[in-house]
């Protein structure tokens, strides 16, 4: 994750998936991923089914496959762990290409790769079809405390400002010949962080005063309402319902 999270996933569009209310999509993705996680790992066909479901969603939402694949890279540290599993796990050993590996470890690696990838792709599809601000409205609609979503909204709003301050500090350090080589660089970097905290916190104090002067009393005014109709809920329910059928079949079919 060294590259940071500078670019956002949202792709503007007007597909039926884009237009679904955020709370429906959130619940659908959560239930879908739960069904995936609860599926026995030996039923490879079920995971193929989940992948087809996600491909259909991506096609309907007109999200290009390249964008999804580029973002899946976020998983890489865990992929490395998954490749270690066949060698360190316990259980019966089998020979694959002449190397003796643990059978349970092989299944474990497959389990993490399949479920992790399906989970990441589902999250990417959610984030690329829903504006961050609207996503937070959706969480609020699902009875998350308003204070929590307010904090998240402030964080999203000011992340670019704070990151830009950090980038200006990096430029200033570079202009003075600084280069992070080893642990001794920590001192300089941490001082930048101290300054960044002060600038962020003091900006927060100013933002609060500006809000109070405009009548803020602990609640943000609702500017957009995102109510969902029964039809929209049932449209969103298609994905988790099919996934639940697949999961149930995977449990019952040997």
Partner 1 sequence: MGVHVPDGFINAPVSVGAGVVAAAGVALALRGARRELDDRTAPLAGLTAAFIFAAQMLNFPVAGGTSGHLLGGTLAAILVGPYTGVLCVSVVLLVQGLVFADGGITALGVNIVNMALVTVVVGYGLFRLLIRVLPRSRASAAAASFVGAVVSVPAAAVVFTLIYALGGTTDVSIGKVATAMIGVHVLIGIGEALITAVTVSSVLAIRPDLVYGARGLAAPLELRTEPAPAAR
Out of 61, 126, 236, 243, point to the residue binding partner 1 (CB under 8 A).
126
Which one of residues 168, 204, 229, 238 is an interface residue with partner 1 (CB under 8 A)? 204
Segment lying near partner 1 (by CB under 8 A), choices 48-56, 93-101, 193-201, 234-242: 193-201
Return d(Cα 126, Cα 117) in angstroms, integer: 14
Beta bridge pairs of residue 101: 94
Cβ atoms of 123 and 29 closer than 8 Å: yes
Cβ distance to partner 1 smaller for residue 16 or 91? 91
Q: Which of residues 54-93 bind partner 1 (CB under 8 A)?
A: 71, 74-75, 77-78, 85, 88-91
* Contact call for residue 189 and partner 1 (CB under 8 A): yes
Is 108 a binder of partner 1 (CB under 8 A)?
Answer: yes
Residue closer to partner 1 by CB (options 172, 229) is 172
The DSSP secondary-structure symbol of 91 reads S
| Distance from C-alpha of 241 to C-alpha of 231, rounded to nearest angstrom | 15
Among 155, 174, 238, 253, binds partner 1 (CB under 8 A): 155
Q: Are 26 and 142 in contact (CB under 8 A)?
A: yes
Residue 26, CA atoms < 13 Å, CB-side half-sphere:
17
In whole angstroms, the minimum distance from the beta carbon of 252 to partner 1 comes to 17
Q: Which is nearer to partner 1, 43 or 203 (CB)?
A: 203
Do the beta carbons of residue 243 and residue 54 sit within 8 Å?
no
Half-sphere exposure of 128 (CA within 13 A, CB side): 26
Q: Is 115 in the site for partner 1 (CB under 8 A)?
A: yes
Smaller CB separation from partner 1, 217 or 231: 217
């Amino acid at each position: 994750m060294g590259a940071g999270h500078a670019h956002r996933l949202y792709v503007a569009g007007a597909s039926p998936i884009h237009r679904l209310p955020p709370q429906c999509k959130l619940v659908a993705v959560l239930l879908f991923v739960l069904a995936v996680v609860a599926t026995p790992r030996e039923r490879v066909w079920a995971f193929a089914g989940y992948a087809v479901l996600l491909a259909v969603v991506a096609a309907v939402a007109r999200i290009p496959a390249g964008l999804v694949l580029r973002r899946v890279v976020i998983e890489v540290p865990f992929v490395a762990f998954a490749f270690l599993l066949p060698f360190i796990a316990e259980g019966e050993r089998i020979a694959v290409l002449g190397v003796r590996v643990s059978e349970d470890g092989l299944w474990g690696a497959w389990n993490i790769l399949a479920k992790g990838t399906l989970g990441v792709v589902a999250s990417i599809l959610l984030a690329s079809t829903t504006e961050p601000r609207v996503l937070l409205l959706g969480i609020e609609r699902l009875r998350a405390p308003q204070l929590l979503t307010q904090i998240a909204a402030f964080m999203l709003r000011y992340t670019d400002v704070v990151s830009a301050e950090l980038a200006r500090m990096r430029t200033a350090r570079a202009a003075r010949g600084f280069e992070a080589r080893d642990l001794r660089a920590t001192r300089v970097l941490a001082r930048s962080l101290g300054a960044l905290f002060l600038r962020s916190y003091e900006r927060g104090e100013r933002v609060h005063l500006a809000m109070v002067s405009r009548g803020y009393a602990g609640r943000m005014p609702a500017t957009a309402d995102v109510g969902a109709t029964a039809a929209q809920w049932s449209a969103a329910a298609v994905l988790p319902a099919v996934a639940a059928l697949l999961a149930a079949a995977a449990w019952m079919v040997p």
